[in-house]
Amino acid sequence: MSKDLEQTVREQLLSQALPVLGVPLNLVGSIEQLTLSEKSAEARIQLRFPAKLSAPLLEQALLAVLRSASGIEQCSIRLSSRIDTAPTQGETQNLERVKNIIAVASGKGGVGKSTTSVNLALALAAEGAKVGLLDADIYGPSQQLMLGVEEGQRPEQYGTQYLKPIVAHGIQSMSMGYLVTEKTPMVWRGPMVSGALQQLLNQTYWDALDYLIIDMPPGTGDIQLTLSQKVPVSGSVIVTTPQDIALLDARKGIEMFHKVDVPVLGIVENMAVHICSECGHREHLFGEGGGDKIAADYKVPMLGSLPLTLQIREQADRGLPVVAENPESETALIYREIALRLAGELARRHSGESAFPNIVFKND
C-alpha cells in the first residue's frame, strides 16, 4: 500500500474524537503500529488511560474510521493501555510507587464528595487500573463505613515504618477510621491534623498504584493547603450540587487549587435531579444547570451529573458502593463515564508537558 494512504489513515485515526471522552486520539493515545495490505488493515493503539470495560466502545469508533480511511472491509483494532506518571510539583517522599494523585474536594459538606470518591476509585479499578483511596477527613472519616471494612480491623505493619493499606472491593485504602474507634473524637488543632495527614499518606505502603484518590475534607483549610503544597498532586476534582450556596463554595475550592497551581480536572454535579420511584417524574430539587455554568466559567470539563437516588445512599451506608454492588446499573454507568473522562483529562493535560510554571502566592 502507498505511503500516502498510510499517512491518511494515520491522520484520520489520530484526529478521531473518542466516545465519552470527546477528545481526539492523538491527545490521549498513540498508534504503535499500522499495517495495511491489499485485503486487510490492522492498527495497534496504545491509550494513556485505563479502558478495560470501555474498550469495545472505543474499538468500534476507531474501527469505523479505519475502514472508511483505508477502503478495506477486513480491519481490526487492538487496544492496550499504559498509564504514565503525570509530571507534578512537590515532595515525593515514599510516594514513588504512586503514579498519579487525584484530590476529590468540595467547598462545603453534604454534597456527596466521599460517595463520589469511593465510586470513582472503584470505577477506575473496574477499567483495569490499580487504585488506592486515602480518607483525608481526619475529623470525620467515612470511607471505612462506605467500603464495608469491619470496625476494629487494623492495618498490618510493614517493615519498621509503614502500614499496609486495607484492601476492600479490590482497592487499597487507608483512613484514620482504621486507627481509632468510631466514638473517638479527633480533638486536634490544625498542625496536628496536617501532620496526621502526611503520616497517613507517606507511611502507608501503597503497592504500585496508577491512581491514588484522596477524599478531602470539605472547605479550604489546613488540610487542603498541606496537601496542595506538600504532596505531588496530579489534579483535582470538584464535587458540588446545583444549589447556589454549594456552587459559591465550589468556586472557592477551584480558586484555592488555582492559587497553588494544582489543575482542576473537572466538575462532578451530585443530586442534579430527583426521579420519582413511583411515577418517574423528574424534578430539579436543588436547581438546574449549576455544574455546567461553573465548568463553563472556569473553562474546566463537566465530568458528569448524578441523580438524587435512594440507592446511592443506602448502598454506601451498607459498605456496598453502587459501582461494586450494581456495576451495570444506570448510576454505576454514570460513575464509569465520569471516571473515564477524568482519566482521559489527566492524560490529555499532561501529554507533552515537560516543565512547570513558577508558583506565585498572592494575598488577594
> Does the reported pTM lie above 0.85?
yes
**pLDDT-wise least confident of 93-97, 123-127, 297-301:** 93-97
Mean pLDDT of 130-148: 88
Specify the residue for cell string 458540588. Answer: 240
Is there a single domain that holds both residue 35 and residue 150? no
Asked if 106 and 69 sit in the same domain, the reply is no
Instruction: Identify whether residues 42 and 145 lie together within a single domain.
Output: no
Q: In whole angstroms, what separates CA 291 from the centre of its chain? A: 17
Tell me: do 102 and 68 sit in the same domain.
no
Residue 273 is assigned to a structural domain of this protein = yes
Task: Assign 3-class secondary structure to 166-182.
Answer: EEECCEEEEEHHHCCCC
Instruction: Provide the pLDDT for residue 42.
Output: 95
Greatest mean pLDDT range, 121-130, 172-181, 295-304: 121-130
Report residue 92 CA to chain centroid gap: 20
Choosing from 81, 115, 145, the residue where a domain stops is 81
- Tell me the per-residue pLDDT of 185-235, one tens digit each, with 9 for 90 and over: 555 665 677 777 888 888 899 999 999 999 988 776 677 777 777 788 899
Give domain status of residue 127, yes or no.
Answer: yes
Claim to verify: residue 25 and residue 137 sit in the same structural domain: no
Query: In this model, does residue 106 exceed pLDDT 90?
Result: no
The range of the structural domain enclosing residue 222 comes to: 98-349
Residue 255's pLDDT is what?
87
> Which one of 81, 112, 141 terminates a domain?
81
Q: Which three cell numbers stand for residue 196?
A: 496526621
Strand 302-305, strand 162-163: pairing: unpaired
Report, as an integer, the average pLDDT of 122-144: 90
Does residue 364 fall inside a structural domain? no
Structural domain includes residue 357: no
225 and 183 part of one domain: yes
Give 240 or 275, the one with higher predicted confidence: 240
Percent of the chain with pLDDT over 90: 45
- CA 151, CA 58: separation in Å to the nearest integer? 42
pLDDT for residue 359: 35
Q: Do 166 and 298 share a domain, yes or no?
A: yes
**Residue 285's pLDDT is what?**
58
The answer to whether residues 209 and 319 belong to one domain is: yes
| pLDDT on residue 4 | 84
Assign residue 162 the CATH number of its domain: 3.40.50.300
In a domain, 86, yes or no: no
User: How far apart (Å, rounded) are the C-alpha atoms in residues 280 and 257?
Assistant: 39
Work out how many domains the chain is built from and give that number.
2
CATH number for the domain harbouring residue 13: 3.30.300.130
Q: How far apart are the first and last CA of the chain?
A: 61
In a domain, 336, yes or no: yes
For 244-254, what is the mean pLDDT? 78
361 inside domain? no
Beta bridge pairs of residue 174: 134
In angstroms, rounded to a whole number, what is the distance separating the alpha carbons of residues 189 and 167? 30
Which of 34, 53, 81 is the last residue before a domain boundary?
A: 81
In our burial notation (b when 16+ CB lie closer than 10 A, e otherwise), range 218-240 reads bbbebbbebbbbbbbbbbbbbbb
Q: Which of 156, 87, 74 is nearest to 351 (CA)?
A: 87
Rounded to 5 degrees, what are φ and ψ at 349?
Answer: -65, -30
Q: Are residue 16 and residue 52 in the same domain, yes or no? A: yes
Q: What is the mean pLDDT of residues 131-137?
A: 92
| β-sheet with 171-175: strand ranges across | 166-168, 171-175, 131-135, 209-215, 98-105, 235-240, 264-269, 302-305
Per residue in 57-89, pLDDT tens?
A: 999 999 999 999 989 999 999 999 999 887 665
Residue-wise pLDDT tens digits, 9-40: 999 999 999 999 999 999 999 999 999 988 89
What's the mean pLDDT when you consider all of the chain?
84
Q: Answer yes or no: are the C-beta atoms of 72 and 36 closer than 8 Å.
A: yes
- Specify if 14 maps to a domain: yes
Residue 193 and residue 120 share a domain: yes
For residues 225 and 302, state if they share a domain.
yes
75/102 same-domain check: no
What integer pLDDT is reported at residue 316 of this predicted model? 78
